[in-house]
Amino acid sequence: MELEVLALQGTNKVMQAYKEDKEFLHTFFDYGNEGSSYPARVAELAGRSFERRQLAEIIRVFMEPFGISANADKHIKELAENAVAVVGGQQAGVLTGPLYSVHKAITVILLAKKQRASLGIPVVPVFWVAGEDHDLNEINHTYTELNGRAVKQQYAEKFVLKLMASDAAYDREQMASFVKDIFGKFGETAYTKDLLDGVLEAVQQEKTFTQFFVRLMNGLFQEEGLLFIDSAFKPLRRLETDYFIQLIEESEQLAEKITSKEELFATQGFGSPIGAEMNAANLFYVHETGRVLLSRKDGYFVNDSSGLRFTTVEMLEIAKEQPWLLSNNVATRPIMQDLVFPVLAFVGGPGEIAYWAVLKEAFHHLGLKMPIIVPRISITLVTPQVKQALEKKSFTIEDVMSGQVFTAREQFVEELRDEEFNATLDETEKMLSSQYEKIAQLSEQQGPTMQELLQKNLLFHTKQLAYLKAKAEDALLLKHDAALRTFGLLEGELFPEGALQERLYAPYAYLNNYGPTLIQDLLQLPFEIDGTHQVVYL
């Protein structure tokens, strides 16, 4: 493997400000992403209390069905005592979801190791699975590359209710068929059978999207001791009872703090990542029809479309007796994480860092400081075939991502076209039109029927000429298919549909190509955890 850092053009505006603008950092965050922040955050956490032993036991119970490695066992025990945590999270996508889920886990692990060595205290890596999310259309698909295009492969089973990913049970036979179809598009290698067998075994062992996700991710990172917890896990919800009570009692003030901060964020040109509203409860209720968002209205917590209406007393009773019926939204999830875990640092992508930026005053209202926010590592994987194609065409990764390869392909196709042939066809079409116009003039006396017939006849011949032109171009493209496939390979692999590779493709295409040690080998690379984009040549 080789590693190089890439300066991407058009960097996310929020990320650019986070890295370069001290005033922005001071306004929207409590700590900078720098070495001096870590001892300060440790000191702050030392002054707070956490239900450590109960939390550690909950994680152990959650992880036991998936397998707890020696390192994971060590980290659970350390968390029960005095460890701090590096936390990152993601929705429970099929086949682990896009590559950035893996990149996020890699960042969490590497940052925890680095700070353990630097601070001289236990720092454990934690992956918070957003199993409470109910938009299954965001997680029920993946993409495969075909002839330079990213093709969406969607799990077909339909779910009528707004079920949380942790409650949405898939059909095992249907999921197995889906997985086999995906692997069939990867192509056969020496690693395919074992890799596919492992995923199919996970399909049969589990029954929900969250369980399937965790089993695969735990398999990829087990030896690193990455700890997993599902936000919808009932024992965790029970632990969160007192925190839900806080969020309910302070919901009006929290909504005001978040809305006000987001308005400031927007006035500085960064948009409205949460879409905060003054009447938001910032909590979901898990109803019989699915997970529904609550608002505050006339002193009640309501969801009008579901006919739900709770008094504050009723909400507090739910938090005490049935906390698993409550669920955080994008605004309160970070706060809940910080109340539950001794979070040294949170690892997030550009979108997550944007919505964290509007939460500072909400944290302060509850007597908390935000953890250190660390951009996840962003990676593009380059297979030997793609590297060879880059060299053959004398392109760089930057050329592909800036659209130069697309331009070069269009120019190449344009130069292939037989201008003399096309010009002759165009001339023939003009002659036909001219001659038919003369015939039409001569036959005017024969009535509208003849005129209609002439128009249809001319249209027929025009279509035939267009058909000839298209077929000639197809033949030309077929003749130069190898060269065109090279252009397509570069675009389809490195910048599919104008997006970074990590946003569409799952890791299994690369595990199938590289082998089962891919994750372990990536973890050995000297990545910089500074928000830069990094290219790995496999």
Q: Could you report how far apart the first and last alpha carbons of the chain are, in Å?
A: 5
C-alpha 52, offset from chain centre = 30
75 shares a domain with 203 = no
Which comes out higher in pLDDT, residue 158 or 458?
158
pLDDT mean over 301-317 = 95
For the cut 80, the answer to whether the pLDDT of residue 32 exceeds it is: yes
CA atoms within 13 A on the CB side of 245: 11
228 shares a domain with 84 = yes
Q: Where are the alpha helices (DSSP H) in 330-383?
A: 333-340, 350-356, 360-365
Q: How far is CA 328 from CA 237, 284, 315, 337, in A?
A: 11, 6, 14, 10
Backbone angles phi, psi at 4, to 5 degrees: -140, 150
Question: At residue 145, what is the residue type?
Answer: E
Residue 106: pLDDT band (50, 70, 90) is: very high
What confidence score (pLDDT) does residue 359 get? Answer: 98
Kindly report, residue by residue over 48-78, the tens digit of the pLDDT.
999 999 999 999 999 999 999 999 999 999 9
121 shares a domain with 20 = yes
Kindly report, residue by residue over 434-450, the tens digit of the pLDDT.
777 777 777 777 777 77
In this structure, the number of other CB atoms found within 10 A of the CB of residue 210 comes to: 27
Please choose, from the candidates 530, 384, 395, 489, the residue with its C-alpha nearest in 3D space to the C-alpha of residue 145.
Answer: 489
pLDDT mean over 275-301 = 94
443 shares a domain with 315 = no
DSSP code for 286: E
Q: How far is CA 221 from CA 225, 238, 377, 420, in A?
A: 7, 28, 16, 60
352 shares a domain with 311 = no
Q: 299-319: string of b/e by CB count within 10 Å (b at 16+)? A: ebbbbeebebebeeeebbebb
For the cut 60, the answer to whether the pLDDT of residue 182 exceeds it is: yes
Output the CA angle 28-344-61, nearest 5 degrees: 125
Backbone angles phi, psi at 15, to 5 degrees: -65, -40
Total-model pTM: 0.88
Lowest mean per-residue pLDDT among 190-194, 398-402, 472-476, 531-535: 472-476
Backbone angles phi, psi at 330, to 5 degrees: -65, -25
Average pLDDT of the residues of the chain: 91
pLDDT mean over 112-132 = 97
CA distance 515 to 1: 13
| Residues written for the chain | 538
List residues bridging with 293 in a β-sheet: 284
Q: How many domains does the chain have?
A: 4
DSSP code for 525: S
For the cut 70, the answer to whether the pLDDT of residue 256 exceeds it is: yes
Residue 393 covered by a domain: no
For the cut 70, the answer to whether the pLDDT of residue 418 exceeds it is: no
What confidence score (pLDDT) does residue 421 get? Answer: 58
CA distance 439 to 145: 53
228 shares a domain with 340 = yes
pLDDT mean over 482-501 = 85
485 shares a domain with 349 = no
pLDDT mean over 390-410 = 85
126 shares a domain with 50 = yes
CA distance 325 to 202: 28
What confidence score (pLDDT) does residue 456 get? Answer: 81
Please choose, from the candidates 254, 334, 321, 257, the residue with its C-alpha nearest in 3D space to the C-alpha of residue 294.
Answer: 254
For the cut 70, the answer to whether the pLDDT of residue 481 exceeds it is: no
For the cut 70, the answer to whether the pLDDT of residue 323 exceeds it is: yes
C-alpha 508, offset from chain centre = 15
What confidence score (pLDDT) does residue 478 get? Answer: 58
**Which residues neighbour 74 within 8 Å (Cβ) at sequence distance 6 or greater?**
225
**Which residues neighbour 202 within 8 Å (Cβ) at sequence distance 6 or greater?**
212, 215, 216, 219
34 shares a domain with 116 = yes
Residue 507 covered by a domain: no
**Which residues neighbour 417 within 8 Å (Cβ) at sequence distance 6 or greater?**
473, 476
**Which residues neighbour 428 within 8 Å (Cβ) at sequence distance 6 or greater?**
465
What confidence score (pLDDT) does residue 483 get? Answer: 65
Among 24-28, 163-167, 287-291, 409-413, top mean pLDDT goes to 24-28
CA distance 63 to 79: 14
pLDDT mean over 418-427 = 63
pLDDT mean over 485-492 = 84
Residue 123 covered by a domain: yes
199 shares a domain with 148 = yes
DSSP code for 282: E
Residue 397 covered by a domain: no
For the cut 80, the answer to whether the pLDDT of residue 309 exceeds it is: yes
DSSP code for 66: G
Which comes out higher in pLDDT, residue 257 or 405?
257
CA distance 93 to 89: 12
Residue 142 covered by a domain: yes
286 shares a domain with 164 = no
For the cut 80, the answer to whether the pLDDT of residue 507 exceeds it is: yes
What confidence score (pLDDT) does residue 409 get? Answer: 72
Residue 174 covered by a domain: yes
Residue 321 covered by a domain: yes
CA distance 106 to 217: 11
Residue 475: pLDDT band (50, 70, 90) is: low
3-class SS letters over 17-49: HHHHCHHHHHHHCCCCCCCCHHHHHHHHHHCCC
Which range marks the domain in which residue 169 is found?
Answer: 137-213
Residue 12: pLDDT band (50, 70, 90) is: confident
184 shares a domain with 121 = no
pLDDT mean over 209-223 = 96
198 burial (CB, 10 Å; 0-12 / 13-18 / 19+) is middle
Residue 394 covered by a domain: no
Kindly report, residue by residue over 336-350, the tens digit of the pLDDT.
999 999 999 999 999
